[in-house]
A and B are shown apart, each in its own frame.
Chain A
């Protein structure tokens, strides 16, 4: 064949830009209950169809249907709804605090609250999450002190990380929440290593790694899959596909015409693609993957299909690159609204209770913020001591840091 026409470079574009509507038909969707549930010892290549389908439990009317509908006691579901609400209210409150310049920066998880919440409840104490900066719902599900969290955000005198870290980069070892790094994807490999360590020691704990759709383009994503597969590491590899990496549509991360779950199958890892806004599906798939890992059957990759409803961060204005009303058109809706509908349908929740819970959580968060602000805010400059800046670089402070601390006059 002779090549007569000049070549052209293909640069993927989202269908929806400001002022027009996104065509969400690119999402490969299934109806609730439609996708099969394999045994936990399934051979990875036999999950190929699941990596291109979508596991969903809650249907349009709020019923839990199909093989993935989990048996969950109603207290857990009610706690799940409450935790998602708490995460969302906390986020909203912290955005206000950022606008008031009490803190320098914040990132919400609006629309993604089901992921950390349901998975935290599906795992056990002692398991370790390797989160990104958008899994604060894990902390909420573990009932981590909101005062401690806000102190970190404020970098104040009570900040557990002594003012060294950008807001949101929490570290809560006792709640199975690994120290967050600004460098994307690094923790995905570390999660695999942690799982390998658990296996080396003959432990029963498992690891859970988290990554966004954009960060799958980092080399550490591929590395994590290879190591997890080679050593059959007890790890859940979570890809949160919220469609956006700051201003970049998921197609530019390599999602055009393919799924991120399919990458797992290509690496020999059992893989699922799940409705990330369906609390019951997130819980059921997480349980499945955790059981698989804990039974020494190997890793699982899960692509969670969701939508980043809020700005990327407080430094971002999404109206400059996508339609303002995009979330209202996203076919998988709002995780809180969907679980609320389901619980209401089952008589486990009511509008009155919802209102009351909302008020109660708001008061709880306001009180936590008030308490945290007693220890200072960025605005009033009551931060950790400058001398503490030199600590923890090494286990013991070396001579050159002692000299620098002295020179700094702190």
Chain B
């Protein structure tokens, strides 16, 4: 399956298993989503389970909070992560705090899917990676898969989870893995082992990172598209990098990070999002706090620049394998 098909399959499985699961968002119903992630689901489950919504992110998330308070398990879509901002109040002030402020009387078991990330000439409002906007909010879970197998298993886990989850989908990975080499043809998921996805129900646990590539020289902490970029950088530099795909961005798998950095003594954090106050800052702080005496080099960060995501300068902005590889070398030489 592609990541699109895997996500669709996860929603299909959960619609079948749990009558309280409902799916809606802009263009999600009849049309099946602008990325085809909900294709055919309305025809299969009916309009009261899968439906189109007005163009109102605050309304989509706000009604979902109300539905969750009733006892449904809404899975809503924001068409692009770049457009979640109008729903900020409902996400931060409501969904994230419902359980806490009501001492558990009301809860928000809901999943908000948002296609994110750049590398597609999406320009300023079709490329952003706003994960740090969510990881800073207490009460939210933030998750991002990097491949079809994880995408399906993680999405099922998120839908079943009783906390509100922000599920970020790197749209650059929807049809195939992407290592940042934009000048080379993209290989489809059908030719990648992680494109093999079981038809039925399975889960990938939350709060659990995966070691995407084992290595001894340094630890790369990353997620989403950057997992493949980091792998390319390791291949091209010859640095034996251990690549940790966080999968659950926050709450995260601290043990996986600490065990790896203590082993390698070097760490590079990689994300597409802009640098300052990005999630990388939290990762660097955690590594510093928990691995200080094992570090043999300063912790490096390779990220998007502190600018809005440009259009023409796509590949000067996107942290590709050359920039990531250069950081590997700096970390090894320090």
- Interface residues of chain A, those whose CB is within 8 Å of chain B, are 128, 130, 160-162, 164-165, 169, 171-173, 178-179, 181-183, 186, 189-201, 207, 219-220, 223-224, 226-227, 230, 392-395, 398-400
Contact = CB atoms under 8 A, between A and B. Distances in A.
B306 interface: no
Nearest to A226: B54
A220 B62 contact: yes
Contact of B90 (A169, A173, A186, A400): A186
A161 B103 contact: yes
Given A197-B72, A227-B54, A179 B66 contact: no
Contacts of B161: 395
A392 B99 contact: yes
A164 B67 contact: no
A130 B273 CA distance: 37
A220 B106 CA distance: 20
A67 to B, nearest CB: 33
A393 B100 contact: yes
B86 interface: yes
A66 B217 CA distance: 86
Interface centre among A182, A195, A207, A220 (most CB of B within 10 A): A220
Contact of A179 (B54, B58, B106): B106
A12 B154 CA distance: 53
A354 to B, nearest CB: 36
Contact of A395 (B62, B94, B162): B162
A179 B102 contact: yes
Contact of B103 (A160, A183, A230): A160
A223 B86 CA distance: 11
Contacts of B18: none
Nearest to A162: B103
A398 B251 contact: yes
Contacts of A179: 98, 101-102, 105-106
Contact of A194 (B69, B89, B139): B69
B163 A395 contact: yes
Contact of B94 (A165, A169, A183, A194): A183
Given A223-B59, A394-B139, A399-B251, 19 more contacts: A164-B100, A171-B103, A181-B97, A189-B90, A190-B63, A190-B65, A192-B63, A194-B69, A197-B72, A200-B22, A200-B48, A200-B67, A220-B58, A220-B62, A220-B90, A226-B59, A227-B56, A395-B107, A395-B163
Nearest to A400: B251
B64 interface: yes
A393 B163 CA distance: 9
Contacts of A199: 48
A145 to B, nearest CB: 15
B93 interface: yes
Nearest to B61: A189
Interface string B93-137: 110011111111111000000000000000000000000000000
A130 B67 CA distance: 13
Interface string B74-95: 0000000000001001100110
Interface centre among B48, B59, B66, B105 (most CB of A within 10 A): B66
A178 B58 CA distance: 19
B139 A192 contact: no
B138 interface: yes
Contacts of A181: 93-94, 97, 101
B198 interface: no
A130 B70 CA distance: 12
Contact of A399 (B71, B141, B162, B254): B254
Contacts of A189: 58-59, 62-63, 65-66, 90
A160 B105 CA distance: 10
29 contacts: A161-B101, A171-B101, A171-B103, A173-B102, A173-B105, A178-B106, A179-B106, A196-B66, A197-B66, A200-B48, A200-B72, A201-B70, A207-B66, A220-B58, A220-B89, A220-B90, A223-B58, A223-B59, A223-B62, A226-B54, A226-B59, A227-B54, A230-B54, A393-B99, A394-B99, A394-B251, A398-B207, A398-B251, A400-B254
A197 B102 contact: no
A219 B86 contact: yes
B59 A173 contact: no
Nearest to B97: A181
B66 A194 contact: yes
A190 B69 contact: yes
Nearest to A166: B101
A205 B98 CA distance: 21
B56 A226 contact: yes
A394 B22 contact: no
Contacts of B49: 200
Contacts of B94: 181, 183, 186, 190
Contacts of A186: 62, 65, 89-90, 93-94
A128 B69 CA distance: 10
Nearest to B109: A395
Interface string B219-252: 0000000000000000000000000000000010
Interface centre among B49, B89, B101, B107 (most CB of A within 10 A): B101
B58 A197 contact: no
A260 to B, nearest CB: 19
Contacts of A196: 63, 66-67
Contacts of A198: 70
A15 B157 CA distance: 58
Interface centre among B64, B100, B251 (most CB of A within 10 A): B100
A175 to B, nearest CB: 11
B63 A193 contact: yes
Contacts of B97: 181
The 8 closest A-B pairs by CB, nearest first: A193-B66, A193-B63, A189-B62, A190-B66, A197-B70, A179-B102, A194-B66, A223-B59
A173 B104 CA distance: 10
Given A190-B69, A200-B48, A227 B63 contact: yes
A57 B11 CA distance: 52
A164 B66 contact: no
Contacts of B101: 161, 164-165, 169, 171, 179, 181
Nearest to A194: B66
Contact of A197 (B62, B67, B86, B89): B67
Nearest to A233: B63
Interface centre among B69, B89, B106 (most CB of A within 10 A): B69
A191 B66 contact: yes
Contacts of B56: 223, 226-227
A162 B102 CA distance: 9
A161 B100 CA distance: 8
